Structure 1
Amino acid sequence: MGKSFEALLPEHEAFIAKQHIFFVGSAPVSADGHVNISPKGHDVLRVLSTNQVAYLDLTGSGNETSAHLDENGRITVMFIAIEGPPMILRLYGKGRVALPGSHEWERLVPKFNMLPGARQIIVLDVHEVKTSCGFSVPFYTYEGERNTLQNWAEKQGEQGLLDYWHKKNMTSMDGLPTPIGQKLSTGTYNG
């Protein structure tokens, strides 16, 4: 049922392009640390090559993925078919964070439609692509994106977002520093 590939095939890219949601998984090295699984919506993911994808990460109540990537780089991105033929597609690899003002941010940001509350770009170098059946995933109907986060971010403004990041995004729930937190604490954040 499941198949493994060294890179994305055209049919994988076509499948990804049709999805309205994906999930990101990461974890700290510590056995006591929390495994994080985070859903992502909106048109924020880009396939950069057959072995690289990136997504525009929007402000959230936590910043777990960023902290985990800074510590160990491990990341999995999962897509599931909620409409049409069943399939689950997972991308395994090493990730990193591109912050505003960095060379990687400047190179990647033109590929995205900038959304209010964008805080970083997560880049994943894919070393394995796996598909599996998805036979037990139920059907859902896509009704549209929620604008709640964007409305909230616009209302905060630039200073309000910086204040929020200071309060909620400096460290992970396990106390690991985040790249944004490191930049904010040294006063070198260019967001």
Structure 2
Amino acid sequence: MAKQFASFEDDHLTTIAAQHMFFVGTAAPEGRVNISPKGMDSLRVTGPNEVVWLNVTGSGNETAGHLQRDPRMTLMWCSFEKRPMILRAYGTAQTLHPRDARWAGLYALFPPIPGARQIYVMAVDMVQTSCGYAVPFYDHVGPRDTLRRWAEQKGDEGVAAYWDEKNRETLDGYPTGILG
């Protein structure tokens, strides 16, 4: 059943590479816990204990607000295909914005994605696998392009206006740091 590891091993990297989505969990010391599904080509394992993922504009901005108050983060991948597997990475993360010095170098790891708003750099302190025997089979039909088209239509100024209106605070009223 469940096994813990100090860092990513080759089998974990193979599992991650085969997944079309992952989930992010964060929480401030008080308030709501947030779990978000993520897709697109937005995640890189950059070392045995480091994950970098690119966050794009969404209807909320909980992760950024939570990390300002408590840097804990959990990432989870579920295998929906042949091999049953749930993989989690536990650690702490920092938020980078396009205005930050490290942004350009890390953003270069990804294909350009309109509406990119943060990069999270996660220091992984534990990796855990579990069976996934109850996770159902699903077929991957393909990626959605809805968010990309929405951001392209809005343009940089429209996306920034959206951030100002919808992404400045979490559901619990914590600032997200989106606009500095």
User: TM class, shorter-chain normalised?
Assistant: over 0.9
Q: Distance in 1 between matches of 2:177 and 2:131?
A: 36
**Cα deviation, residue 107, structure 1:** 2.3
The aligned residue for residue 83 of structure 2 is: 85
Q: Distance in 1 between matches of 2:33 and 2:74?
A: 12
Q: Distance in 2 between matches of 1:96 and 1:169?
A: 17
User: For residue 89 of structure 2, what is the amino acid of its counterpart?
Assistant: L
User: For residue 25 of structure 1, what is the amino acid of its counterpart?
Assistant: G
Preserved contact between residue 26 and residue 76 of structure 1 (Cα < 8 Å): yes
Question: Deviations along 1:120-155, whole A, 9 cap, x unmatched?
Answer: 111111000000000000000000001111100000
Preserved contact between residue 97 and residue 179 of structure 1 (Cα < 8 Å): no
Structure 2: runs of 5+ lacking an equivalent: none
Question: Deviations along 1:151-178, whole A, 9 cap, x unmatched?
Answer: 0000000110010000000010101111
The aligned residue for residue 186 of structure 1 is: none
Q: Distance in 2 between matches of 1:156 and 1:74?
A: 32
Q: Structure 1 residue 58 and structure 2 residue 56: aligned?
A: yes
The aligned residue for residue 48 of structure 1 is: 46
Structure 1: runs of 5+ lacking an equivalent: 184-191
- Which structure shows the higher helix fraction? 1
TM-score (norm 1): 0.92
**Root-mean-square deviation (Å):** 0.8
Deviant stretches of 4+, over 4 Å = none
The aligned residue for residue 131 of structure 1 is: 129
Q: Distance in 1 between matches of 2:123 and 2:67?
A: 12
User: For residue 3 of structure 1, what is the amino acid of its counterpart?
Assistant: K
Q: Classify the secondary structure of the residue corresponding to 2:144.
A: coil
User: For residue 178 of structure 1, what is the amino acid of its counterpart?
Assistant: T
User: For residue 91 of structure 2, what is the amino acid of its counterpart?
Assistant: G
The aligned residue for residue 189 of structure 1 is: none
Q: Structure 1 residue 98 and structure 2 residue 88: aligned?
A: no
Q: Classify the secondary structure of the residue corresponding to 2:25.
A: strand
- Number of residues of Structure 1 aligned to a counterpart in Structure 2: 180
Q: Classify the secondary structure of the residue corresponding to 1:69.
A: helix
Q: Classify the secondary structure of the residue corresponding to 2:140.
A: coil
